[in-house]
């Protein structure tokens, strides 16, 4: 019994000594490495803050379509690509303007108005985007463009247009605008001087001997001396047509 008691006391003393030794070593290491430990804690704090900041993503701003961009039709293809995020807002006063254009006695205006309504139907029915019809109106504002800018300010959204004048007025008033003409210019292919490409010259240019061709995106190219190539192309087409008639 006495032996067990002695061993128990010795074990407790040894345990206490070991704890004191390792505790002292730990304090010494911490003092010597305090700068490194400080950097580690600073990094972890910054990483946690940055991660929280990245997760806290603000919702996309609503995009408000104006009459001109709806009639233009390219907005349908742009939305299909998924580059534009957020709710697509169609103001009721824009719909009224489209209906008025679609009921015009002028054939061209009527066709443009009906095309715009067809584009809206395709956007609403065929694309996986959130489309909302906004009934909010501004009776004290007469012009549709002014109403658009007012609505954009109210909703905190952006106006999508291809109207140059509306774009300038919006910039002056501090309203964000997405101009699809600027987008089209931004994605045009870059051609380096001396680079070769295959084009079809389809008509004469303004100056003597010039020929005019178009790229796939609609960019016009003026070719000096291209008129001769156009004449050769026409001759080749005539020969092919004549040959087909003989075979028939």
Given phi > 0 = left and psi -120 to 50 = alpha, else beta, which region is 82?
A: left
Are 32 and 145 in a shared domain? no
Are 41 and 95 in a shared domain? no
Q: Is residue 15 part of a domain?
A: yes
Are 48 and 118 in a shared domain? no
At which of 163, 186, 209 does a domain end?
186
User: Which residues neighbour 98 within 8 Å (Cβ) at sequence distance 6 or greater?
Assistant: 67, 70, 71, 113, 116, 117, 120
Domain that holds residue 125: 63-186
- CA distances 93 to 147, 151, 172, Å, are 8, 11, 23
Cα separation, 78 vs 85, in Å, equals: 11
The full DSSP string for 72-102 is H-HHHHHHHHT-S-S-EEEEHHHHHHHHHHH
At which of 30, 55, 80 does a domain end?
55
What pLDDT shows up at residue 184? Answer: 83
What pLDDT shows up at residue 157? Answer: 92
Are 172 and 225 in a shared domain? no
* pTM score, whole prediction: 0.60
With beta carbons less than 8 A apart as the criterion, state whether 94 and 148 touch: yes
Q: Is residue 196 part of a domain?
A: no
Q: Is residue 88 part of a domain?
A: yes
- Residues counted in the chain: 248
Are 179 and 119 in a shared domain? yes
Enter the tokens of residue 110.
């009527």
Are 83 and 168 in a shared domain? yes
Cα separation, 83 vs 152, in Å, equals: 20
Q: Is residue 193 part of a domain?
A: no
Instruction: Quickly count: other Cβ atoms within 10 Å of residue 68's Cβ.
Output: 18
Are 105 and 213 in a shared domain? no
Are 108 and 163 in a shared domain? yes
Are 51 and 76 in a shared domain? no
Enter the tokens of residue 27.
């304090």
Are 92 and 157 in a shared domain? yes
With beta carbons less than 8 A apart as the criterion, state whether 84 and 63 touch: yes
Q: Is residue 20 part of a domain?
A: yes
Q: Is residue 192 part of a domain?
A: no
With beta carbons less than 8 A apart as the criterion, state whether 131 and 88 touch: yes
**pLDDT 10s digit of each residue in the chain, 248 long?**
555 555 565 656 566 666 676 566 665 655 555 555 555 556 566 555 554 454 455 567 899 999 999 999 999 999 998 888 889 999 999 999 999 999 999 999 999 999 999 999 999 888 888 999 999 888 888 888 899 999 999 999 999 999 989 999 998 899 999 999 888 888 777 777 777 777 777 777 787 878 888 776 677 777 777 766 666 656 655 665 656 666 66
Cα separation, 141 vs 227, in Å, equals: 53
How many separate domains does the chain show? 3
Are 176 and 72 in a shared domain? yes
Are 93 and 16 in a shared domain? no
What CATH number is associated with residue 105? 3.40.50.1010
């Amino acid at each position: 019994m006495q032996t067990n008691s002695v061993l128990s006391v010795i074990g407790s003393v040894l345990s206490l000594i070991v704890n004191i030794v390792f505790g002292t070593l730990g304090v010494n290491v911490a003092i010597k490495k305090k700068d490194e430990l400080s950097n580690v804690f600073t990094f972890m704090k910054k990483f946690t803050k940055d991660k929280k900041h990245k997760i806290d993503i603000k919702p996309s701003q609503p995009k408000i379509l104006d009459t001109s961009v709806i009639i233009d039709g390219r907005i349908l293809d742009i939305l299909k690509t998924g580059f534009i995020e957020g709710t697509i807002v169609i103001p009721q006063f824009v719909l009224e303007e489209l209906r008025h254009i679609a009921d015009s006695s002028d054939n061209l205006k009527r066709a443009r108005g009906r095309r715009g309504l067809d584009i809206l139907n395709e956007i609403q029915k065929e694309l996986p985007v959130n489309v909302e019809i906004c009934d909010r109106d501004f009776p004290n504002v007469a012009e549709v463009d002014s109403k658009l800018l007012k609505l954009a300010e109210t909703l905190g959204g952006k106006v999508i247009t291809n109207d140059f004048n509306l774009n300038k007025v919006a910039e002056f008033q501090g309203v964000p605008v997405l101009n699809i003409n600027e987008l089209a210019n931004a994605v045009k292919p870059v051609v380096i001087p001396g680079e070769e490409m295959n084009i079809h010259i389809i008509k004469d240019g303004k100056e003597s001997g010039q020929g005019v061709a178009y790229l796939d995106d609609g960019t016009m190219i003026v070719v000096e001396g291209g008129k001769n190539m156009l004449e050769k192309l026409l001759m080749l087409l005539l020969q092919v047509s004549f040959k087909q008639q003989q075979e028939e």
